[in-house]
């Protein structure tokens, strides 16, 4: 057979008996079907290192290696997800041992008394071809079908191998988490087919902007990850991240339009920020969250400050779980004033958390932790049950006053949310319009059509629906028109967000009030702090007010004496 037709195969022979090694080597050298580049290893430590280095096509492994056996190497190969074939050789011909080895991941099991060249050739060829087919199938499962990039599973596998290499060589590597800014706007305005084209384009740009030794994956939606191997210094890493930003953020010509593209990136560094894949991914995700808070097109490295916040978040999460059992939550109430009657016309319920040591944890601190951990669902259920029970008691006492509660997007995604809410309303016999839920705009922007049916179901059950912090999101007039809303609440930043006694954004408040009037929606102005703000909003047509100018949030014991007298 000519040299051009001879296949080159890198074979590692793990054999502690030199005479047996020479017999195997001689048989392989005699092959006319393949040219074998042979390496000889004699112990478990050398074999383990070879598995990690992954610089071979096949391993021929003697079952007995001093005090160890081939099972020890097979188990290590499985732990590091080795994808290359390992053929075990032994002088023992045992069906039971054969089954055990194959179960542990051996590609084949051959007796040493039949190590002829044709038999070895055939065994090696079949083992390599079979493993190659298995890899192809496994690769399809671990690939993102849209972009062809790896998915989360494959990314984590690459991370484990890269960390093992970096640990041996005292090297650094980096994990990047990134997502596209305002990607949902593209899907909503141009359609999902354009969004898919954009994701594919971004995936291609990412692959072009990194080295061959790096690895890019799409782990879901518009979220991408990059594994950067062999980082020399923080400056080196910064240059790479800026190069990725520059490449990805170029204008994207897609279909008949050109899209402005920007990404937010979070970066975590090994070993400085963690030594386990889950640690690095968690911290890169936290850094991404921080970069998005800075605005579109930014990147942020995980820092000691973020580390302290992470630890604080974990401590809060643990304490939150305990607080649900120990009933440490309390509802405070902030009245809403009808300017025409100068009376309390409604209330907003606001959760407060009192720790056993007397510490009061601010909602701004624990609500984000509750949302990330999923604890917002049971906490939200507690709020619903407490608010409905209170409204039921007031109703029996002749006090009829609407009460609004805040509901997060995470709660809406919980399958039993609507049923639980309606059951509580029915259980306490609440009059229609007594309970109101406040939702942020992001609910309707992200999944407006998805929740439309749910909102109508709640509306039919007598539950009012309001949009909180209106004007701070990417509003869609379609959602305002099509959803069964009752009122909108002007965000406090438009009312008193600047120094001074007047309105901070009078043009915006006027526009919101005009819009609401056209849609026949009630409006509540939040964050009212001065009489001048009240007067200006009245001139613009606002009727309901909420803010420190009238009342601060207060516990139930302070509220009830201020409520209107029971109806007789």
Token pair 């005699």 is found at 30
Structure tokens at 339: 């300017």
Q: Length of the chain in residues, anyone?
A: 568
CA gyration radius, the chain: 32
Cα separation, 416 vs 528, whole angstroms: 36
Q: Show the 3-state SS of 119-156.
A: HHHHHHHHHHHHHHHHHHHHHHHCECCCCCCECHHHHH
The model's pLDDT over 147-188, given as tens digits with 9 standing for 90+, comes to 989 899 889 989 999 999 899 889 999 999 999 988 888 887
The answer for residues whose C-beta is within 8 angstroms of residue 388's C-beta and 6 or more apart is 424, 425, 427, 428, 430, 435
pLDDT confidence of residue 102: 83
pLDDT confidence of residue 58: 94
Query: Cα-flanking dihedrals φ and ψ of residue 45, to 5°?
Result: -60, -45
What are the structural domains, with CATH classification, of the chain? Answer: 3-141 (3.40.50.2300), 152-302 (3.30.70.270), 315-562 (3.20.20.450)
pLDDT confidence of residue 481: 75
Q: Show the 3-state SS of 187-209.
A: HHHHCHHHHHHHHHHHHHHHHHH
Alpha helices in 295-345 (DSSP H): 304-326
Cβ burial of 566 (10 Å; 0-12, 13-18, 19+) is: exposed
Q: How many CB atoms lie within 10 A of CB 162?
A: 22
pLDDT confidence of residue 4: 46
What tens-digit pLDDT sequence spans the chain (568 residues)? 444 467 899 999 999 889 999 999 999 999 988 999 999 999 888 988 888 888 899 999 998 888 888 888 898 888 877 888 999 988 777 777 777 888 888 888 888 887 889 999 999 999 999 888 887 777 677 788 889 898 998 899 899 999 998 998 899 999 999 999 888 888 877 888 898 999 999 999 999 999 888 999 999 889 999 999 989 888 889 999 999 999 999 999 888 888 989 999 999 999 999 999 999 998 999 899 888 878 888 999 998 888 887 788 888 999 999 999 999 999 999 999 999 999 999 999 999 999 988 888 889 889 988 988 889 999 999 999 999 999 999 999 999 999 999 999 889 888 899 999 999 999 999 999 999 999 987 776 555 556 788 899 999 999 999 999 887 655 556 667 778 899 999 999 899 866 678 898 999 999 999 999 988 999 999 999 999 999 999 999 999 999 999 999 999 999 999 998 776 5
């Amino acid at each position: 057979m000519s040299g051009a037709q001879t296949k080159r195969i890198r074979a590692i022979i793990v054999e502690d008996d030199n005479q047996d090694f020479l017999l195997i080597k001689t048989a392989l050298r005699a092959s006319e079907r393949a040219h074998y580049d042979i390496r000889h290893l004699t112990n478990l430590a050398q074999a383990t290192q070879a598995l990690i280095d992954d610089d071979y096509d096949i391993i021929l492994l003697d079952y007995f290696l001093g005090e160890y056996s081939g099972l020890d190497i097979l188990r290590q190969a499985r732990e590091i997800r080795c994808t290359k074939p390992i053929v075990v050789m032994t002088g023992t011909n045992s069906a039971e041992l054969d089954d055990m080895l194959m179960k542990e991941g051996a590609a084949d099991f051959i007796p040493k008394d039949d190590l002829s060249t044709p038999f070895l050739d055939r065994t090696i060829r079949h083992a390599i071809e079979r493993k190659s087919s298995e890899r192809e199938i496994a690769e399809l499962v671990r690939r993102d079908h849209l972009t062809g990039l790896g998915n989360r599973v494959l990314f984590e596998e690459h991370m484990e191998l890269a960390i093992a290499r970096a640990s041996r060589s005292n090297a650094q590597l980096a994990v990047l988490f990134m997502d596209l800014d305002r990607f949902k706007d593209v899907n909503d305005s141009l359609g999902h087919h354009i969004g898919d084209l954009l994701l594919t384009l971004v995936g291609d740009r990412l692959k072009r902007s990194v080295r061959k030794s790096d690895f890019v994956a799409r782990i879901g939606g518009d979220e991408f990850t990059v594994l950067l191997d062999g980082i020399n210094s923080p400056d080196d890493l910064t240059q790479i991240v800026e190069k990725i930003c520059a490449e990805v953020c170029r204008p994207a010509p897609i279909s008949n339009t050109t899209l402005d593209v920007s990404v937010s990136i979070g970066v975590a560094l090994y070993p400085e920020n963690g030594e386990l894949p889950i640690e690095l991914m968690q911290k890169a995700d936290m850094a991404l969250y921080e970069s998005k808070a800075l605005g579109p097109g930014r990147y942020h490295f995980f820092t000691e400050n973020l580390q302290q916040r992470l630890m604080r978040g974990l401590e809060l999460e643990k304490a939150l779980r305990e607080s649900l059992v120990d009933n440490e939550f309390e509802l405070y109430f902030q009245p809403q004033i009808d300017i025409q009657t100068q009376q309390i016309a409604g209330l907003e319920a606001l959760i407060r958390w009192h720790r056993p040591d007397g510490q009061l944890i601010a909602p701004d601190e624990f609500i984000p932790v509750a949302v990330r951990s999923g604890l917002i669902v049971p906490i939200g259920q507690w709020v619903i049950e407490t608010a409905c029970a209170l409204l039921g008691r007031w109703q029996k006492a002749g006090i009829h006053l609407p009460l609004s509660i805040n509901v997060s997007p995470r709660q809406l995604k919980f399958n039993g949310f609507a049923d639980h809410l309606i059951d509580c309303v029915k259980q306490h016999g609440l009059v229609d319009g007594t309970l109101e839920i406040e939702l942020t705009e992001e609910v309707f922007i992200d999944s407006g059509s998805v929740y439309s049916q749910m909102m109508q179901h709640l509306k039919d059950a007598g539950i009012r629906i309001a949009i909180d912090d209106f004007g701070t999101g990417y509003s869609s007039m379609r959602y305002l028109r099509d959803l069964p809303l009752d009122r909108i609440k002007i965000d406090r930043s438009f009312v008193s967000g600047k120094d001074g006694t007047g309105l901070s954004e009078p043009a915006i408040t006027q526009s919101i009030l005009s819009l609401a009037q056209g849609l026949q929606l009630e409006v509540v102005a939040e964050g009212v702090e001065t009489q001048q703000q009240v007067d200006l909003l009245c001139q613009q047509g606002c009727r309901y007010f909420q803010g420190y100018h009238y009342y601060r949030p207060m516990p139930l014991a302070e509220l009830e004496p201020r409520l209107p007298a029971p109806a007789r």
